[in-house]
Amino acid sequence: MATDIRDTVHAVDASAVMELLPARPRLLALGEPTHGEDALLELRNELFRQLIEQEGYRTIAIESDCVKGLVVDDYVTSGTGTLDEAMEHGFSHGWGASAANRELVRWMRAHNDGLPASERLRFAGIDGPLEITGAASPRQALTALHGYLVSAGVDAELLPRTAHSLDRLLGTDDRWTNPAAMRDPSQSAGQSAEAVELRVLADDLAALLDARTPQLIAATSRDEWDRARLHGRTASGLLRYHHWMADTSAARMTWLVSVRDQMMAHNLLALAARGPVLVHAHNSHLQRERSTIRMGGLPVEWWSAGALVSAHLGKEYAFVATALGTIRHQGVDTPPPDSVEGLLYALPEERCLIDAPRLATALGDPRPATRVSPWFGYAPLDPAHLAGSDGIVFVKDVPRGQGPSLRW
């Protein structure tokens, strides 16, 4: 190796992260290779607090339902509701049961107490209303967008549908949320005549929202207009997702995972337009390289949200991956010594920050082989991706915690 691996090692703190970057990025992403481990979320909390206090970040975004996340944002910015209600109704994927997520929300609310609105921390979910067994009904997002336009005084003749006719087109929510549709496209309502009309309607409502921007911001507020845009993005994304749920071609799964990450990317770009953002999600959603997964025994490839955002923001996007040594309670034991994780595991630090491009140089070519995980819920580091990351947080051993069970 041309460079000693020790020369790539730093402490895990905000100042060390910033030293790896040419300037403060508008969007700083921290990935994780597995979900549901509170030890990793506690590390995230610690690092994000430092970045907020030292670098002026003002939004924390996580891999959770973007519409539900509005409940948490209301709580941390204005004290609407209670902490228990925010945790129960403001998260998807079971993340509300996490003690570390609860502590993050509690701290954000305490931090904001007494601050002027312009200085308060904001919370956001970046994921669509999606789960492994399917997707939500587009009802909430579509009706919220339509209701905003009506309440803001948009002329009735400009609206393509009334609330009553919109309700008729949507039908019952269970026709959209049928879990059988994930494995059987014929069970999906995504290509029905009503769904086709709803896709056009969502597009028209979003276009009307955009065309009336000055009027709408003056009549309501920029925050309310931003939320209406989120509802518009979500409605269109959900209807596109449902369309591909009903598809029977070989492209079906590629479209589904691509639409999901595209929804994440659109949400991240909207947040970044508002100010500097910290985001936490799975490495596969934040990396700059193409993501891959096996579904039904076949490989599926797509461009992640991070790759899409990086293409838009360039150097204003930074990505720090997380890699692990062991998760013994999940059967992930000491990594092979010739893997990247094995080399990092031999270091004395329990956790450290690695200069990823320098590590790539130190390892040279050919790179070590990718570690093989005995557990589906942990995705090892891909050595080919090292140079595409700005840094790596390495955690030697992940203890058993009380986090939620793994969700997609």
DSSP string, 70-93: HHHHHHHHH--S-HHHHHHHS-ST
Task: Give domain status of residue 334, yes or no.
Answer: no
Span 341-367, pLDDT tens digits:
999 999 999 999 999 999 999 999 999
Task: Give domain status of residue 150, yes or no.
Answer: yes
Task: Give domain status of residue 304, yes or no.
Answer: no
Distance CA 199, CA 191 (A): 10
- What values do phi and psi take at 159, rounded to 5? -75, 130
DSSP string, 255-312: HHHHHHHHHHHHHHHHHHHHS-EEEEEEHHHH-SSEEEEEETTEEEEEE-HHHHHHHH
Domain assignment of residue 238, given as a range: 135-249
The pLDDT of residue 402 is 53
138 CB-contact burial (10 Å; exposed 0-12 / middle 13-18 / buried 19+): buried
Q: Which residues of the chain have pLDDT under 50?
A: 1-2, 403-408
- What values do phi and psi take at 319, rounded to 5? -130, 125
Contact indicator for 74, 82 with CB cutoff of 8 Å = no
Task: Give domain status of residue 87, yes or no.
Answer: no
Residues 6+ apart with CB under 8 A from 268: 27, 61, 126, 277, 279, 305, 309
The pLDDT of residue 258 is 97
Question: Which amino acid, 317?
Answer: Y
Distance CA 363, CA 2 (A): 8
pTM for the full predicted model: 0.95
Contact indicator for 58, 123 with CB cutoff of 8 Å = no
The pLDDT of residue 2 is 43
Distance CA 119, CA 22 (A): 25
Distance CA 64, CA 95 (A): 8
Q: How many domains does the chain have?
A: 1
Following CA atoms 141, 143, 144, 149 in sequence, which dihedral angle do they give, to the nearest 10 degrees? 130
Task: Give domain status of residue 190, yes or no.
Answer: yes
Task: Give domain status of residue 77, yes or no.
Answer: no
- What values do phi and psi take at 258, rounded to 5? -70, -45
Task: Please identify which residue in the block is written with the tokens 């461009």.
Answer: 303
Task: Give domain status of residue 222, yes or no.
Answer: yes
Distance CA 335, CA 326 (A): 7
Following CA atoms 274, 279, 281, 287 in sequence, which dihedral angle do they give, to the nearest 10 degrees? 90
Distance CA 41, CA 35 (A): 9
Q: Which of 149, 139, 165 is nearest to 211 (CA)?
A: 149
194 CB-contact burial (10 Å; exposed 0-12 / middle 13-18 / buried 19+): middle
Residue 396, H or E segment = strand 391-397
The pLDDT of residue 405 is 43
The pLDDT of residue 1 is 41
Task: Give domain status of residue 280, yes or no.
Answer: no
Contact indicator for 172, 218 with CB cutoff of 8 Å = no
CA distances from 219 to 73, 151, 207, 208 (A): 22, 9, 18, 15
